[in-house]
Amino acid sequence: MSDIFGIMSLAGQALMTQQQAISVTSHNIANVNTPGYSRQRLNMTTNIPMESSVGPMGNGVSGVSIERLYDRFLSSQISNESQGLGQWEAHKDAVQMLEVIFNESDGPGLSQAMSKFWDAWQALTNNPSGATERQVLVTASQVLANTFNKLDEDLNGSQQNLDLAIQGTVEDINRLSEQLADLNEKIISSEIGSLSANDYRDQRELVLKELSVLIDINTFEDANGAVSVLTGSGRPLVSSDQFWQLSTEVNASGLQDVVWVDNSGGTLNITGDISGGKLKGLLEARDGIITDYMTRLDTLAGFLRADVNLLHQGGFDLNGIAGEAFFIGTGTAADLEVNPNIVGDLDFIAAASDPLTFPGDNRNAIEIANLQHQLTMSGNTATYNDYYSSVVRDVGNEVLKSNSYYNHQSDMMAQLENQRESVSGVSLDEEMINLIKFQNAYTAAARLVTTADEMMQTIMQML
C-alpha cells in the first residue's frame, strides 16, 4: 500500500543510498593516486516490491554492496610477469657493473698493459744487457700483474655487493610475508559477515605483487578469503595468518645461500630451487656470470704466467745462471706478481739462451717477445689478446642481451598495467560525472521529502 509515510521513508532511503554512493565516489577520488587501488562502486538495487491494489508497487532503492572492480586473471598475469621483471632487472644491473669493470674504451686497461709488456720484451732484445731496458721491462710487468690483480679485486667486490643485495632481498621477502599474514588475518575477520574487505584486498594485492618481483611464488585463495603463498619449489611462505621466514647462511665459497626456515627452526637450502624474481637474477649473476668471468681471467693469467715462466726458466741471466720463475703466484689473476728477486736485481732477467753467451745474447728475450703472436689460448686457436678481446666482447653482448630482455619484459608489464588501469583505475572525469549524477539524485530525493511533507500538511489542513 502506498501512503505518504511510505513515500517519506522511500525518499529517506533514497537520500541515504545516494549519500552512500557519494561516499564511495569520494573514496575513489581520494585514492586516484594510491598504488594498487581498485575503484569501488556501490551496487544499488530496487527493494522488494509491495503488494498494492494496482499491482506490485516498487519500494525504492537500497545499497546492497560495495563492489571492487578487479580482474583476477589480470592480477595473476601481472604477478607472473613481475617475476620475470625482477629477475631481468637484477641481471641487467649486475651485468652493467661488469661492463664498467671491463670498459677498455678509454685506453688504459688489461689490453694496453699486455701490449706494453710485449713491447718491453722487444725493447730488451735491442740491448739485452741494458739497465734501462731491464727496468722498463720490470715496470711494465708489474703494471700488468697489478692490472690483473685489480680486475680480480673488482670482480670480487661485485660478488660481495651482490651478496649483500641477496641478504637485503631475503629481508624484504620476510617483511612482505609478515605483512601478508597480517592482511590475511584482517581480511578473514572483516569478511566474516560475507562482506568484501575491498581496501585490505587492494593492499594485499600490492604486497603480493611486490613479493613476486622478489621471488617466484605460487598463490591461491582459500574459502576464508586468505591467500596462501608457496615458493616455486613448494615451500610455504604464508598460510592464513601464519608466515615462514627465509634466511641466509654462508656456503662453501664464502657466499650466502638462501634457506627456508621451518616451524622447528630447521633450515632447508632452497638456493638451487629459486627460478624467478630478483633473487634469481642476483643469484645467477653472482654464481653464474661473475664466476665465469673470474675463471676466464684466471685462465688468461695462468697461461701467461706458465708460458713466460717456461721460457724464462729455460734461459740464462746476466750471471750465466738459469732463469727463475718470472711471475710467482698460483696462476690466478689475484696473486699474479713479478718475482721479487727479479725486481730486486735486474740481472736476473734471463735474456740469453745459453749459460755462456750473456750479456749480448738476446735469443731467449726474442722467444718470449714472440709469445705475443703465438696461438696459446683456447686449444691453440687464439692469442692472449684474442682471448681477452673475446672476454670484453662477451661482456658487451651480455649487457645487450640483458637490456633487451629487460626492455621486453618492461614493455609487457606496462601493457598489463594499462589493462589493469583500464579495469580498476580511477578516472577523475568519470568520478566527477558520477558525483554530479548522485548529487542530482540526492537533490531530487530531498525534493521528494519536501513534497511528501507538503502533502502531509495539505491532509492535516483538511482536518
Partner 1 sequence: MRVTNNTMTNSIVRYLTSQNEALFERQTIIASGKKINKPSDDPIGMGKVLDYRQTIATIEQYQTNIKRGKTRLDVTETNLKLVDDLLQVVRAISQTEAAGTTESRQLAAGNVKNLFDQVLDTANSKLNRNYMFSGYQTKTAPFSRDDAQATTLDKFTVTYNGDAGDARFMVAENTEVTAAADGEAIFHDLAGISIFNPMRDLIVALENDDAAAISAQQGLLDQAHTHLQDIRGANAPISYQLETTESHWQNYKPKIEELLAKEETADITQAIVELQSLEIAYQTTLATTARIIQPGLLNFLK
* Interface positions with partner 1 (CB under 8 A): 32-33, 99-100, 102-105, 107, 111-112, 114-116, 118-119, 122-123, 125-127, 129-130, 352, 354, 356-363, 366, 369-370, 372-373, 385-386, 388-390, 392-397, 399-400, 403, 414, 417-419, 421-423, 425-429, 432-433, 436
Q: Let me know: does 257 contact 251? Beta carbons within 8 Å.
A: yes
CB of 159 to partner 1, least distance (A): 20
Lookup: cell for 444:
531530487
The burial of 171, by beta-carbon neighbours within 10 Å (0-12 exposed, 13-18 middle, 19 or more buried), is given as: middle
Q: How far is CA 126 from CA 347, 369, 447, in A?
A: 16, 12, 110
Nearer to partner 1, 27 or 235 (CB): 27
Nearer to partner 1, 390 or 451 (CB): 390
Nearer to partner 1, 253 or 374 (CB): 374
Nearer to partner 1, 65 or 357 (CB): 357
* Beta bridge partners of residue 45, listed in sequence order: 62
CB of 95 to partner 1, least distance (A): 9
Omega cis (within 30) before 108: no
CB of 109 to partner 1, least distance (A): 9
Residue 357 neighbours by CB under 8 Å, 6+ apart: 316
CB of 293 to partner 1, least distance (A): 12
Nearer to partner 1, 127 or 190 (CB): 127
Residue-by-residue DSSP string for 333-400: STT-EE-HHHHH-GGG---BSSTTSTTT--HHHHHHHGGGGS--BTTTTB-HHHHHHHHHHHHHHHHH
Nearer to partner 1, 199 or 257 (CB): 199
CB of 102 to partner 1, least distance (A): 6
The residue type at 32: V
Residue 379: what are its φ and ψ, rounded to 5°?
65, 40
CB of 73 to partner 1, least distance (A): 16
